[in-house]
Structure 1
């Protein structure tokens, strides 16, 4: 694995102590950044943390694990699936089979997929839900059948699962918003550029961001648009927003980096010169990091590492061993801000200009931990199946 940009240090409170699981990220020659446990866990003001007793799920290996995937609609999910496969390969001594289904981002198909996995007698199921509400009834039913379910990256609307693994969507949403507020000194116009409407990562980042913005009367949300995590659609929706508001736009709060290249391209084609494009938020994706430097766009990067999918295999084995796990398993996120754009609340863990990879495509994820030769377009990750 590459040294440097490490964005998946896993923290968990269990059995009265803090444990960490880390994965080095695929960023060559980058200075090590924040290496502690997830800040969302350490800074949690609650007196107690929800811990799940999994002793009833304890059984002897080998195991058959099912994975119901929402789909492979963007580069993040392609890399994440390779991370999951690698995790199973890492533990092939105890994992007999990993059964993977792909719903193609269709709720009805995913409900059927979950039913099918349950009928195959899997020992544990990992689910990344296409939308929160549509998958809730079937996941709840599977749990009642006695099959433990881990929600990964995308959750259901209820808490009917063993644990939920993610990089803290509310943290990302709030920090992005707070940075924008502080950069604008509490006065300005913001466009919200969401991902997929109804998906938990988009909604659970956007709603907390709105709570931050609402505290500042001088901040006005001009428009809310959705990109389906696509740079193409991101460009289309932002072209319409720019045509309507033009230079009145002071900031673009984006729910991830996948759609940001399209947004910046829309501003460039609209005649915005370097230094004139509004500040953007981003995550994981190579293109925005390079474009921020090229076009002098103030930018805040908070990683949502796809390596959480490999972590899901580690957590699955904990559950099947009967070990207690937290109700929410939070992976660590690195923070990086373009030079000169730090604010009182937002500081860089790693230098921003060290993150982008000029020799990689725009949609390349700099936060994978699959090694320096990994290429998602040619990778054929081995795993037990």
Structure 2
């Protein structure tokens, strides 16, 4: 009997020291926004440095097959929660579903999977991201002008943004898209595209890029061509240097629209809350909301300081 009591005491002691294990799997920093996501993931994890109840495993991947292998390794470690921004939707769906079915609290970030088998999905509002940019440009041009669109990588997210942008222009038939090309989230590619378009079109009144990385490339091309005046420029996602330009009253860039890479930090916090049985302040429901779409906020000179994170890489 005494041995049984000692054994039970040991089990209780071991369980009391058991930590929650959270695996975080995200794409490697192949452009500014994903670099920002990596930085914010590291930042969030550091906030738990003194929390004895949780430990993290952070992995980054350069292709889908690598991410699948990384998640398999995380599952083998016995993680309790998986926070993942899938490199691509289709190939990562089976491993995410496996995690969910194994009872691992699974949070999908930004890029969805081809299944409803997950605990939480959190992402930015791609529709409003594109729509607000289009509405701003149309109004800024007074309902008339020539617009260039440099979009990102052809994908579901990109398509949703571009279609919303065009939807916002529908009430303004005299605002015309004269060129539309993919810039693949690359400032170098956007620079090359803009150089070519400047030689082709003598009258460009506005440029919308799918994100702020590409906006940097466009701005450089305009400067080199001596055409960096009397043109409306809009990017997106609030890269820190663009936000600083807005703060300082840049003559061409008056606004930006949020699509924050720090959504990964929110996802990590939600995973920890779920494992600890906590719920969101102000919610009577104990569970974490299953689908969270972050609002697209307009950043102007007046509020830019609230969106400026100089220590971030993005």
Q: Fold-level match, TM-score > 0.5?
A: yes
State yes or no: 1:198 paired with 2:155.
yes
Report the counterpart of residue 126 of structure 2 in structure 1.
Answer: 169
Task: Check conservation: 2:39, 2:312, Cα contact below 8 A.
Answer: no
Matches within 5 A, 1:90-169: 90-92=47-49, 93-104=51-62, 106-169=63-126
Alpha-carbon distance change, 180 to 72 in structure 1, aligned in 2, over 3 angstroms: same
Alpha-carbon distance change, 171 to 196 in structure 1, aligned in 2, over 3 angstroms: same
| 1:150 alignment partner, SS class | strand
Report the counterpart of residue 282 of structure 2 in structure 1.
Answer: none
Cα shift at 1:61: 6.0
* Runs of 5+ consecutive residues of structure 1 not aligned to the other structure: 1-59, 339-348, 356-365, 378-385
Provide the C-alpha distance between the structure 1 equivalents of 2:71 and 2:141, rounded to a whole number of angstroms.
46
* TM superposition score normalised by structure 2: 0.78
Which protein, 1 or 2, shows the higher relative CO under an 8 Å CA cutoff with sep ≥ 6? 1
Deviation per CA, 1:157-208: give whole Å up to 9, x if none. 54432222233222222111111122233333322222333263x3442232
Report the counterpart of residue 329 of structure 1 in structure 2.
Answer: 292
CA-atom RMSD in angstroms: 3.0
Report the counterpart of residue 279 of structure 1 in structure 2.
Answer: 233
Provide the C-alpha distance between the structure 2 equivalents of 1:314 and 1:291, rounded to a whole number of angstroms.
31
Deviation per CA, 1:99-150: give whole Å up to 9, x if none. 122112x222223322332233211111112233343343233323332221
**Larger helix percent:** 2
Report the counterpart of residue 164 of structure 2 in structure 1.
Answer: 208
Task: Check conservation: 2:129, 2:236, Cα contact below 8 A.
Answer: no
Task: Check conservation: 1:279, 1:298, Cα contact below 8 A.
Answer: yes
State yes or no: 1:268 paired with 2:219.
no
Deviation per CA, 1:294-327: give whole Å up to 9, x if none. 8721432123333322222211023224541223
Report the counterpart of residue 257 of structure 1 in structure 2.
Answer: 212
Report the counterpart of residue 3 of structure 2 in structure 1.
Answer: none
Cα shift at 1:69: 0.9
Task: Check conservation: 2:124, 2:296, Cα contact below 8 A.
Answer: yes
Report the counterpart of residue 245 of structure 1 in structure 2.
Answer: 201
State yes or no: 1:301 paired with 2:256.
yes
Cα shift at 1:66: 1.0
State yes or no: 1:227 paired with 2:183.
yes
* Runs of 5+ consecutive residues of structure 2 not aligned to the other structure: 1-16, 278-285
| 1:299 alignment partner, SS class | coil
* TM superposition score normalised by structure 1: 0.65
Report the counterpart of residue 33 of structure 2 in structure 1.
Answer: 76
Which of 1 and 2 has greater Rg? 2
